[in-house]
A and B are shown apart, each in its own frame.
Chain A
Amino acid sequence: MKLLIKNGRVIDPLNEVDGKMDVLINNGKIADMDKELEAGENVRVIDAKGKIVCPGFIDMHVHLRDPGYLYKEEIASGTRAAAAGGFTTVCCMPNTKPVVDNAAVAAYVRQIAARTGIINVLPIGAITREQKGEQLTEMADLIAAGCIAVSDDGKPVEKAEIMRNALEYAKMFDLPVLSHCEDLSLSRDGQMHEGYYSTIYGLKGIPAAAEEIMAERDIILARLTGGHVHICHISSQGTVDLIRKAKAEGIRVTCEVTPHHLTMTDEALGTYDANTKVNPPLRSAEHIQALLAGIKDGTIDCIATDHAPHELESKDCEFNLASFGISGLETAVPLIMSLLDKEFDMYRMVQLFTAGPARVLGLNKGSIGIGDIADITILDPDKIKTVDPDNFYSKGRNTPFGGRQLKGWPWMTIVNGKIVAEDGRIIEE
């Protein structure tokens, strides 16, 4: 069936488009775009008046937990959460059981995604075997099996020598190395950001330096090797400054920031609700200001959720025993939209969710042009809704944002020309 999206404001930063335009979709592709398109026979017309029509949003950092942790999430539930949250593509991290450190496991993920997923799932392979930080994975094989990047996310590559080799080796394939920056000796036993609130709440702090030291090391190694390092989930002012400086020097470094690091401070941990426990930790207001400055001046390339779903039991317990992580796919877009106008505009936001991650990963996605695959996210900037974790599609209800009223929500998610989510609900076939 053909779809005609009428009267919407189309924002496509990759093609530098921002204006009222109609979009015709046929056979899963963008068939036509113009100021005014007529609906022909057999065309479903979608009135997008007052809505923002964007290239499909890409989340380059999610944990879908399959294989091994299906009690936390499945590809079926995770991709539905993503679709309801406005995403058409997610990249899933390899810290599963077994780890995605060989072509067979990567092929398994793609197979399950094809069978049970409802959006595009691109696997990320491990940097080292079993993520042990010792031996490089067969990266050429991982790429052949569909991996679009490598990462040992969840833990850092501790040895500088291994990271150096990884960047050197991945460079051959123009493969980005996604780095979880954490000096484990500084973060050991840490529960929250080290600062005033860790003093007040009596929880062991994780200093910003734990992230910054590793980010600096990886930047230096990227300079040495010419490889592309992408710093995951940056959370500190120091990291923003280091990346800004490195980019100015022409080093191949990119980075992402999560919605929760932009919208919640460490003060929130005072209830000892383990849903606020995340790694890297929620930091202070000064760090948030620095991250926002990094978004405004282009230092930060994209927004990624670090969607980390957990089962109830691993959060409903003593704070120190709780798992780290926030289930983020279904709140990411409204959380970022809540910052609009105050911090940055709609165009920049769309860029951070589309062209940004597409550029980091070298994906042929993130734009709306005639002939492109019709992956489209439509936003309703006026919709006001309260976050209700009980209505999540994700198995992980672990969010500290439950009950927060937010303005601006995804309205429609179209994957491959097919409507998969509308107004936060999944349209099943």
Chain B
Amino acid sequence: MALAQRKDLLGLRDMSREEIEMILQTAVPMKDIIKRDIKKVPTLRGKALVTVFYEPSTRTRTSFEIAGKYLSADTVNLAVSTSSVQKGESLRDTIKTIEVMGFDVIVMRHAMSGTPHYVARNTDMRVINAGDGANEHPTQALLDLYTIKEKKGTLEGLAVTIVGDILHSRVARSNIYGLSKFGCDIRVVGPSTLMAPEIEKLGVKCYYDLEKAVAGADVVNILRIQKERQHSGLFPTLDEYANLYMIKKDKLKKAKEDVLILHPGPMNRGVEISSEIADGTQALINEQVTNGVAVRMALLFLMMGGTRDEITN
């Protein structure tokens, strides 16, 4: 399916390799635009985008907003906490209200899995999932793929280790779906209480031992640990978590020498990642943020019916 024919982007699970490649290729010229002195192209002039975030987020929301602006779309952020939710309005009515204001695209973040899918069924607007519960965060995975491909030249056959709270992670799921379409050797590692049931059936290898999981890895993608998981009894203390799973230099000895370090941010330094790694030369954490804007520009552009030639010419 071409992206222009796709009404919504809800996840990578049902996206084809060709669609993903198209987005990654289109993001290359988009990244050039970000680096220009005049960072604006008229491509989406007259289009309107609204971000509706039911969960706090700075970088994803800002990234979508600026991506839209660079393409000349009108972008609006709906501050949900101060809006209809507190007045008891149903989600369906909120969405209808937004729709009739004339928005073309709604970018949605929600703590509950499947909410963007529900919204997509009930609106003519295009829906982009900016993270839903523990289900998917497709644009994060796309920017991760872009970042890896940019450095390594290819995604084909790379060994990628995802570390941390796999059970609750939408970033992990979307990365698994995306990477598996490129024949990657995907490993997931974390405490057994934070491992999703039957995850091996997704074609990944499951580890509890960090050093074994990163042996030979080309990429280590570190997930943010939510501190409240400790309170629900899923692991004893953050100290023990850090002892077992924090990425620091001596844990990476068996990884490839040029291993890339990714983290979706925001980081808990000293919990899932040490400062020496976070600030080291192999960490691409800031690069990921820039790429995030480029990938989201590409996505908005392609979904609104643009062709790749249009932007490169």
Q: List 8 A-B contacts (CB under 8 A).
A: A196-B197, A201-B113, A202-B134, A272-B114, A272-B117, A317-B91, A318-B118, A321-B112
Contact residues in A for B202 (Cβ distance below 8 Å): 199-200
Contact residues in A for B173 (Cβ distance below 8 Å): 200, 202
Query: Known: A198-B197, A317-B90. Contact between A203 and B134, CB under 8 A?
Result: yes
Closest to B134 in A: A202
Shortest CB-to-CB span from B284 to chain A, Å, is 26
- Residues A200 and B134 in contact, CB atoms below 8 Å apart: no
- Given contacts A201-B114, A202-B113, A202-B135, could you give 13 more A-B pairs where the C-beta distance is less than 8 Å? A198-B196, A199-B196, A199-B202, A200-B202, A201-B113, A203-B114, A205-B197, A271-B117, A272-B114, A316-B92, A317-B91, A320-B113, A321-B112
A59, CB-defined interface residue at 8 Å: no
CA A187 to CA B117, docked complex, whole Å? 24
- Residues A199 and B198 in contact, CB atoms below 8 Å apart: yes
Query: Known: A202-B135, A313-B90. Contact between A272 and B118, CB under 8 A?
Result: yes
Shortest CB-to-CB span from A285 to chain B, Å, is 13
A12, CB-defined interface residue at 8 Å: no
CA A202 to CA B134, docked complex, whole Å? 4
Contact residues in B for A73 (Cβ distance below 8 Å): none
B151, CB-defined interface residue at 8 Å: no
- Residues B197 and A203 in contact, CB atoms below 8 Å apart: no
Closest to A207 in B: B197
A169, CB-defined interface residue at 8 Å: no
Interface residues on chain B, size class: 20 to 34
Contact residues in A for B135 (Cβ distance below 8 Å): 201-203
Q: Counting chain A CB atoms within 10 Å of each CB, which of B114, B115, B199, B201 scores highest? A: B114
Contact residues in A for B110 (Cβ distance below 8 Å): 318
CA A191 to CA B113, docked complex, whole Å? 10
B218, CB-defined interface residue at 8 Å: no
Query: Known: A271-B117, A272-B118. Contact between A202 and B133, CB under 8 A?
Result: yes
A153, CB-defined interface residue at 8 Å: no
Contact residues in B for A205 (Cβ distance below 8 Å): 197
Q: Counting chain A CB atoms within 10 Å of each CB, which of B90, B173, B196 scores highest? A: B196
Contact residues in B for A196 (Cβ distance below 8 Å): 197-198, 201
Interface residues of A in 275-321 (CB under 8 A from B): 313, 316-321
Contact residues in A for B136 (Cβ distance below 8 Å): 202
- Residues A194 and B170 in contact, CB atoms below 8 Å apart: no
Per the CB 8 Å criterion, the residue count for chain A at the interface is: 21
Contact residues in B for A203 (Cβ distance below 8 Å): 113-114, 133-135
Q: Mark B190-208, 1 if CB is under 8 A from A, else 0.
A: 0000001111011000000
The residue from A195, A271, A316, A318 contacting B112, defined by CB atoms under 8 A apart = A318
B132, CB-defined interface residue at 8 Å: yes
CA A317 to CA B196, docked complex, whole Å? 26
Contact residues in A for B134 (Cβ distance below 8 Å): 202-204
B47, CB-defined interface residue at 8 Å: no
B181, CB-defined interface residue at 8 Å: no
- Residues A319 and B197 in contact, CB atoms below 8 Å apart: no
Contact residues in A for B92 (Cβ distance below 8 Å): 316-317
- Residues B199 and A199 in contact, CB atoms below 8 Å apart: yes
The residue from B90, B113, B170 contacting A319, defined by CB atoms under 8 A apart = B113
Interface residues of A in 246-293 (CB under 8 A from B): 271-272
Of all A-B residue pairs in the complex, the 7 with the closest CB atoms, nearest first, are A272-B114, A202-B135, A202-B134, A199-B196, A196-B198, A202-B113, A320-B112
Q: Mark B236-280, 1 if CB is under 8 A from A, else 0.
A: 000000000000000000000000000000000000000000000
Shortest CB-to-CB span from B229 to chain A, Å, is 13
CA A319 to CA B136, docked complex, whole Å? 15
Closest to A198 in B: B197
CA A194 to CA B115, docked complex, whole Å? 19
CA A205 to CA B134, docked complex, whole Å? 11
Closest to B120 in A: A272
CA A196 to CA B117, docked complex, whole Å? 20
Q: Mark B16-50, 1 if CB is under 8 A from A, else 0.
A: 00000000000000000000000000000000000
CA A318 to CA B135, docked complex, whole Å? 14
Contact residues in A for B170 (Cβ distance below 8 Å): 202
CA A317 to CA B198, docked complex, whole Å? 29
- Residues A200 and B113 in contact, CB atoms below 8 Å apart: no
- Residues B115 and A319 in contact, CB atoms below 8 Å apart: yes
CA A274 to CA B197, docked complex, whole Å? 22
Contact residues in A for B152 (Cβ distance below 8 Å): none
Shortest CB-to-CB span from A320 to chain B, Å, is 4
Q: Counting chain A CB atoms within 10 Å of each CB, which of B113, B115, B117, B118 scores highest? A: B113
Q: Counting chain A CB atoms within 10 Å of each CB, which of B132, B135, B197 scores highest? A: B197
CA A202 to CA B113, docked complex, whole Å? 6
B13, CB-defined interface residue at 8 Å: yes
Closest to A188 in B: B232
Interface residues of B in 87-138 (CB under 8 A from A): 90-92, 110, 112-115, 117-118, 132-136
Interface residues of A in 329-379 (CB under 8 A from B): none
Contact residues in A for B112 (Cβ distance below 8 Å): 318-321
CA A191 to CA B115, docked complex, whole Å? 13
Interface residues of A in 75-107 (CB under 8 A from B): none
- Residues B132 and A202 in contact, CB atoms below 8 Å apart: yes
Q: Mark B157-189, 1 if CB is under 8 A from A, else 0.
A: 000000000000010010000000000000000
CA A313 to CA B90, docked complex, whole Å? 9
Shortest CB-to-CB span from B220 to chain A, Å, is 22
CA A316 to CA B93, docked complex, whole Å? 11
Contact residues in B for A202 (Cβ distance below 8 Å): 113-114, 132-136, 170, 173
